[in-house]
Copies of this chain bind each other. A is one copy, B any other.
Amino acid sequence: MAEADLRPSVAASETGDPLLLTPGPLTTSLSVKRAMLHDWGSRDEGFLAMNRRVLAAIADLAEAGDSHVAVPMQGSGTFAVEAMIATLVPASGKLLVLVNGAYGKRALAICARLGRASAALETPEDRPPDLAALERALADDPAISHVLAVHCETTSGILNPIEEIAARVAAAGRKLLVDSMSAFGALPITPAAAPFEALAASSNKCLEGVPGLGFVLCEKAALAAAAGHAPSLSLDLADQQAALAKTGQYRFTPPIHVIAALDQAIREHAAEGGVAGRGARYYENCRVLVEGMRARGFQTLLPDALQAPIIVTFRTPVDPAFDFQRFYDGLAARGYLIYPGKLTVAESFRMGCIGRLDRADMAGALAAVDAVMAEMGVAAGAPA
């Protein structure tokens, strides 16, 4: 190994920050952050026009502008998911959650708090939902009104087969809610290909904005029928949309700077070629990362066919010289922040492919991995 590999220069974003190889918040462009260098009145037309533009663009990304409306929700993505469930699953309804990771489990926890009936159909973290079991569950339990599926489960990085799930839910005459938090904007999803009543995502994943705003693409008729149903004022999407439709204004203070950043981020998303262009860069990032890590002896949790190009789970090497905290700190010292594992089935860590990163950044991360492994005395290329 060359001396240079042992002392790589420290990687940094345009603003001198470590590169975030995480599932979000992630590295954003300087121009996205610079869009926050202004103040706007929350009821002034300058801001309201920007907000309308953002929401219309979000609906367009899903080719859903005719049937659905993008309703913003202040807070994190989980606030948007809770708002989606609270608003659209009626008190008399029941939500079947397809669980293969932490985000499916979180939807169940939300139902428990909201007092909404729920059931789980669980598969291991490295397996997609069982479609035959889904069909049976829907046939067996007429109380189920809605199904919730997680598009990409960042617990493992698995891409769940959202179109196949949607087809079965529609065939059974039920409604689909999608948690597309970490996929929306990079992986295509449309109501035409995957009929959904609602889809929740956020500003700071594949759209590459900053965190602080979630949104839910809601079927217009379903949203109108849900007025007054939510057991929360803040999280009521029907009330939020009613105010926006009537006055163009938010009911409660919007995170204006976050929305300004998202407006710029959506412009940059379009310039990159929209969902296809964004997805292509992430697929390439993922390919470089996975091939490089495998060449170094690391094993991915998932086979390639199940891997979404969002975040990759690697099994922790068995070599006792490997220590995750030293690995994390060593990569951090070289400008790369990675993510701990979240699996229950295996010791692991995760590296993200999303954000303002390209293949050169992924190659830099691989060089940093080499250096840290050498530092720890774990042979690069050692079998995991």
- Residue numbers of A with Cβ under 8 A of B are 13, 15-18, 20, 22, 24-28, 30, 33-34, 36-44, 74-79, 82, 86, 106, 109-110, 113-115, 202, 204, 210-212, 230-236, 250-258, 261, 332, 337, 339-340
Contact = CB atoms under 8 A, between A and B. Distances in A.
Contacts of A39: 13, 15, 17, 20, 25-28, 33, 210
Contact of A230 (B41, B113, B253): B113
Given A15-B39, A36-B210, A41-B337, 11 more contacts: A20-B39, A25-B253, A26-B39, A43-B339, A74-B74, A74-B212, A76-B254, A77-B253, A109-B233, A114-B231, A202-B253
Closest 7 CB pairs of A and B: A212-B255, A74-B75, A78-B252, A75-B75, A76-B252, A76-B253, A41-B337
Contact of A37 (B15, B18, B43, B110): B15
B252 A77 contact: yes
Contacts of A44: 18, 332, 337
A232 B112 CA distance: 9
Contacts of A211: 42, 253-257
A258 B258 contact: yes
Residue of A37, A109, A340 with most chain B CB atoms under a 10 A cut-off: A37
Contacts of A114: 231-232
A33 B38 contact: yes
Contacts of A235: 232, 234-235
Residue of A37, A41, A106 with most chain B CB atoms under a 10 A cut-off: A41
Nearest to A86: B232
Contacts of A26: 39
A232 B233 contact: no
A33 B37 contact: yes
Contacts of A202: 253
Tally of this chain's copies: 2
A74 B74 CA distance: 7
Contacts of A22: 41-43
Nearest to A340: B43
A28 B337 CA distance: 31
B36 A36 contact: yes
A78 B337 CA distance: 34
Nearest to A83: B234
A212 B339 CA distance: 25
A82 B106 CA distance: 21
A231 to B, nearest CB: 6
Contact of A40 (B25, B41, B233, B250): B25
Nearest to A332: B44
A253 B24 contact: yes
